[in-house]
Every structure is written in C-alpha cells, then in structure tokens.
Chains A and B, each alone.
Chain A
Amino acid sequence: MSGLNVDTLIDDPGTRVIVCCGSGGVGKTTTAASIGVRAAERGRKTVVLTIDPARRLAQALGLEELGNTPKQVSVDGFAPTGELSAMMLDMRRTFDDMVLAHAGEKRAEEVLSNPFYKTISSSFSGTQEYMAMEKLGQLAAEGTWDLIIVDTPPSRSALDFLDAPQRLSTALDGRMIKLLTGPVKAGGWGIRKVVSAGFGLFAKAVSTIVGGQLLADASAFVQAFDGMFGGFRERARKTYELLRSTGTAFVVVAAPEPDALREASYFVERLEAESMPLSGLVVNRTHPVLAKLPAAKALTAADNLDAAGEAPLAAAVLRLHADRVAQAQRERRLVNRFTKAHPGVPLVHVPAMAADVHDVDGLRRIGERLTGA
C-alpha cells in the first residue's frame, strides 16, 4: 500500500480538478479548504467550490454570504504565492442562470415562474448535486483558475454525487411526463401496448394523488424546457467527461468509522467501474498513539497508583492513554479492513485536531497533515 501525498497532486500542473467526496460529516469541506490553502501557498491559482460549509469555516474564508461567484480569500496572515478564491454554491441561482443562458428571455420567464420549477430547483434531492456539477463545468470553462477544488454536497451516500444528475435528467426528460399526461400519444415505448391499460389507471391515480394542477404545471414546465434540454444534457455530459479526464483527481474522505469507510468502499468501487481517476483515501480525524506504552501496562500502573492513593494526575494520564491506545487499535482495524478490500488505493491518515478548525492557520495545519508528514 502506497501513501497518498497531497503535495504530489497539487504540485503537478496537470492536476486541474480535485473532487473531495465521501459521506456526510467526515470533514470533506474542511479537507477541500485545507487543500485549497496549501495549493495556493504552493503557487497554484486555486478556487474552492464549497457546498455547505460550517459557519465559522465560511467566515475563515471570508464567505459571509452566498455569492455564487468566486471571491478572493484575503485574511490576515495569508499571503500565498499563488491565489485562493472561494465560493459557496447557491443552487437556486445556479439553476436560474442556467435557464437564462439556455432559453430566450420569454421562454426563460415561463420556466422560472412555473410552480413546478420551484419544486425542482429547490427541493428535488438531486438538484444540489446537479448544480455542483454545472458550477464546476462553468468554472472550468472560464479558465481563470488552474486548479479547481470541489467539495461535494452533504448526503448520506457518497454515490449520490454521481447518481443524482442522472435522476434529475430523467425527471426533466419529456418522455415521463408525456406518459403521465397523455399515455396514448407517447411514442417509442415498446411495452406501451402491454401496459397501456394499467398505465392509464396509474396516470389517473398519480393525478388523483398529486393533483391535476401539479401535473399540468409539470407538463407546461417540461414543454417549455424541451428546447433547452439538449443543451442541458450536453453540458452534463461534458462535465462528466471532465470528471473522467486525467486532469481530475478524486480524493475520497472518510472518518475511521464503519459507516463512513463502508461508503468510501462503495465509492471507490464505483469510481473504478466508471474509470474515474481516484487519487486515494483520506482517513480523517484519526487518533494515533503518541507514547510507546502498552495499554495493559498503563492500566496496571494506574490501578496501583489509585490503590496507593498517590499521584492522581499521573493515574489519569495513564488511563486516558489506555483509552487512546484502544481507540487507535479500533481505527487501525477498521482501516485495515478497507485496505484488504482495496489494496491498491493510496491513503493518508490525518490525525484529529484537538479543537474545531475555523481559521486559515488551522487549515494550514491540516494541509501539512494531508501530506502524510
């Protein structure tokens, strides 16, 4: 098993996009921001696209509000030889911009004021992922930055990032809605005849449940959308190709916990299956043992001290050390399980910081840890 060194990645001018992915709560955003700070300080012209940063991390990067366009990070004590910009994704606005860019003014207005558009653009579960992809495509097309770091939306499953755009495409594809609103007219479905009776009932049932108005809105939306759809799909395809190109590096982030590592496993397998360029796994927030003293020995000594009523501080130190040894062993066991299944995946352990990170200095220290130092 080789190690993952983030410097090798960011020092290679061929690396144009780094995608940080992983399940929710593993520290993806912080990892992305740390890589960004380090890349900028090593001379890259960098932009970090974050999705949902913790408030204090956003403040650390000077991201007080959703701007939806990159803003240069300028804070005290940060004077990189390269450059760092950052932005938070505003999914609704990205969608609006996309509609405006693809449709004539009149048609865009029709789409934007459709109630169904409001649902799709704000609460459909795949929209955030789709828009993150769209924004990545835009930033890449602009050509202003030579390194784009993307943080992926928070979701339980890391796979959502790859699957959601497809789901949304299906929803926006005209065929489904045509089937629901007028199954007889829908062409090109070989199975139509077989199911048409059942389908008519289904369409009726759906319309009863979701209400005729909603279906009508959806239908109007899809019709207005139809002309733009080719353009949308083409863009999504281009971004997908960008993700598969050699200039892209996927960095999977996981906490040393069973669920997070299981998700990381799924994701690694999926990247391999789709020939997407995987750089490695960041095992985030580990607890390495800092003193060579076996846990059993520490506990025996602590018991002896307690029994003698002596040195309460030393006894406490010994006990917390024993806890730490047990935790480190557990983490090692879990990571070993991952490595056994994916022996070729380089990885780096990033020891946990004692406190939450919310300034550039903290990000810098995580950056150091990302090199395996």
Chain B
Amino acid sequence: MTTPVVGWTEQIARARLHVVTGKGGTGKSTVAGALALALATGGRRVLLVEVEGRQGIAQLFDTQPLPYSEEKVASAPGGGEVRALHVDVEAALLEYLSMFYNLGFAGRTLRKMGAIEFATTLAPGLRDVLLTGKVKECVTRTDESGRHTYDAVVVDAPPTGRIVKFLDVTKAMADLAKVGPIKGQSDGVVRLLHSGDTAVHLVTLLEEMPVRETMEAVGELDGADLRPGAIILNRVRPPRLPAHSVTAAADGRVDAGRVREGLTSAGLALSADDLDGLVEETVEHAVRVQAEQRARERLAEVDLPAVELAELVDGVDTGALYELAEALVEQGVR
C-alpha cells in the first residue's frame, strides 16, 4: 500500500460543514449518508443535505421521498441522530424572496408557469447561490440557548466536475449582483465555505478516470482557495494474490500446473476448461490489482488524508450504511 492511510486529521474533525463530492458512479451519496451517520455516532446531531433533487437520501435510508423540511431519517449509535433535508431550489427561491417581498399566492402560480425555473436559467449561478445559502443557514442556525442546531452538516454535493463552480459562488455573483440583499447573503456563504469550518471530501474508486477527476478537482479546489478534506476510497476490494505474483499474473503468466497441484491437494478435481477459467479470472484480478496500485500511487501525490471503505458485495441497504459508518468511525471519523 503506497497511500499512507492517515485517517481523519484534527483539522478535518474541527470542520462543521462536510461537503462530499466525487465523480458520478463513485458512490458519493452513499458515502455522504455513511459519513453523516458516523459523525452522529456518540450522540451528535447531524443534518444531511441533498442538493441535486434526486431523492437519493430517501432511497438510501429507505424512507418516503423527503419534503422540503428537515426530517429525522436515522438514529446513530450512542444516541445521535441524522436529519435529512432535500433542498428544492424553487421552494428555496420563494422562501428567499418572501424574506423581502410579499408574493402572496402568486408564488405557486409562478412556479407552475415555470417562471422560477426560467429565472434560475437566466442566471445559472442563482441556483447554486440558493443551495449554498440554504446550507449556510443550516450550519449557522442556533437554538434559544445559542447552541448550534446541528453539530455537523453533511452535503451530498454536485460531482467533481462541477464542485468548484458550485462552491465558489463569489465569482458567479460578482457578475450578477453587485449590490442588494443577495450580495450580503452570498458574502456570508463565501466566508463559511472558505473557512476552516468547511472540508470538501472527495470520493473516488481505485480506477483511472475517477482518480484523474479527483486529482483535477483537488487542483481546482486549491486554486479557488477552498479546502480539500479527505480522500475517501470507496468500494475497495481485497487483493487476493500474494504481492510477488501480481506482476507475472497480470502479464498472463499464471502457473496453471502449480494451481492444479494445489487444488488437487485440497481435494478439488477440475476439468481443463474450469482450470483455464480460473487462470483467466486470476489474470483479470491481477490486472485490476495493478491498476488499483497505480491509482493509489497517483492519489498519494496529492498528499491528503485518506480513509477507505470496503466493497459491500451484497450492495448497500440501510443496514450496510451502518457498517460503512462504523468503518469510518474506526478510522477516526468524529
């Protein structure tokens, strides 16, 4: 293993806003769910926020589709709880406008006409401003005693390709609103996202494309003065071959005679076809292990803390989510 698994650093543990991104297909929503559970472990209150309107959280926690409100979706070990919020952009815009204008029931009609979607189309940054604005409100909200409503907020964020654009609303807003209420609001968001209170975690698989996108995203985050948190290696599968056999096997050199001898001594008599099949499976496994090794080496270049989640052969259900959360806690997530 060339990636030193240093786990969750003190600096990351201090963050209150955890943004989870990753290339499509890397399992970022699952990881965001598991991270929320892990952070809630031991009695903390965590909010999991979904911004991309696919009701992925509801599927993950096997609940009804979420309304635009903060609903409890899970209890964590040790008395903690996870609430979830599915941010509806149109509702967020109306909510936002109602702070300044009394739209009355016209709001609903406008929505039906598609006027709100149109407004967010006119100004693509507006959507992200509203989403990040809502996130900021959740992170900074306090109860009567002045205590933060949530100990941590986890955002299932847009994929790596869009993450910096999403988080760095300053740029988008500079062109749009130079004055006015949304300016003041967005300044607050920018301060939060660029502070030590925020960590942006990157979920990746040990495959070429996701790793490349991760590296690019880290570069972009650094360039935009946003803080990359941890790399979360998802769906890691155990290497089975002895390390010294991998290179030869990946080259197609598997000693079939030796495998057959071993099988015989274990009491297995296989046909020539089945033995060939095993050899082919072994070659494919070795090629994959090599590719994973290269992926680890590349990831080591960015020098970020990393945690790992093992592949769950049976897929992810709510029970499995607790398993993943436990694995995160064991690696220092807190």
Binding site for B on A (CB under 8 A): 23-26, 54, 116, 119, 123-125, 154, 156-157, 167, 170-171, 176, 179-180, 191, 194-195, 197-199, 201-202, 204-206, 208-211, 214-215, 218, 255, 257-260, 289-293, 297-298, 301-302, 304-305, 308, 310-321, 323-324, 326-327, 330, 334, 352, 354-356
Contacts and interface: CB of A to CB of B under 8 A. Distances in A.
Contacts of A308: 265
B291 A202 contact: no
User: 8 shortest A-B CB distances, which residue pairs?
Assistant: A198-B106, A314-B262, A311-B262, A291-B277, A290-B277, A25-B25, A301-B266, A24-B24
B278 A317 contact: yes
Interface string B266-296: 1110110111111111111101100100000
A23 B313 contact: no
Main secondary structure of the interface of A (DSSP, over half): helix
Contacts of A323: 237-238, 240, 313
Contact of A209 (B25, B180, B237, B283): B180
A289 B285 CA distance: 12
Contacts of A352: 284
B266 A125 contact: no
Given A205-B97, A290-B277, A354-B288, A314 B124 contact: no
B208 interface: yes
Interface in B157-204: 159, 176-178, 180-182
Given A293-B268, A305-B265, A355 B291 contact: yes
B266 A305 contact: yes
Contacts of A298: 268
A195 B97 contact: no
Contacts of B265: 305, 308, 310-311, 314
Contacts of A312: 242
Nearest to A292: B274
Contacts of A180: 115, 118-119
Residue among A176, A204, A291, A317 facing the most chain B CB atoms (10 A cut-off): A317
Contact of B278 (A54, A293, A355): A293
B122 interface: yes
B147 interface: no
Contacts of B291: 355-356
B121 interface: yes
13 contacts: A25-B209, A54-B209, A176-B114, A195-B109, A208-B177, A215-B122, A290-B277, A290-B278, A305-B266, A313-B241, A317-B278, A320-B241, A354-B283
Contacts of A156: 24, 52, 54, 159
Interface string B22-35: 01110000000000
Given A198-B110, A205-B101, A313-B259, A210 B126 contact: yes
Interface of B: 23-25, 52, 54, 97, 100-107, 109-110, 113-115, 117-119, 121-124, 126, 159, 176-178, 180-182, 208-209, 237-238, 240-242, 245, 254-255, 258-259, 261-263, 265-268, 270-271, 273-285, 287-288, 291, 313-316
A251 to B, nearest CB: 19
A124 B177 CA distance: 19
A119 B25 CA distance: 28
The CB with the most chain B CB atoms within 10 A, among A171, A191, A198, A330, is that of A198
A291 B103 contact: no
Given A156-B24, A198-B110, A355-B287, A208 B240 contact: no
A124 B270 contact: no
Nearest to A218: B122
Contact of B314 (A204, A211, A330): A330
Contact of B259 (A206, A317, A356): A317
Nearest to A154: B24
Contacts of B178: 211
A354 B280 CA distance: 10
Given A289-B281, A313-B262, A355-B291, 12 more contacts: A156-B52, A171-B121, A195-B106, A202-B97, A202-B115, A210-B176, A215-B122, A290-B278, A313-B241, A313-B242, A317-B262, A354-B284
A314 B281 contact: no
A141 B150 CA distance: 58
B283 A356 contact: no
A42 to B, nearest CB: 28
Contact of A313 (B54, B104, B106, B255): B255
Contacts of B107: 198, 202
Contacts of B278: 290-291, 293, 317, 321
Nearest to A170: B114
Nearest to A314: B262
B177 A210 contact: yes
Contacts of A317: 240, 254, 259, 262, 278-279, 281-282
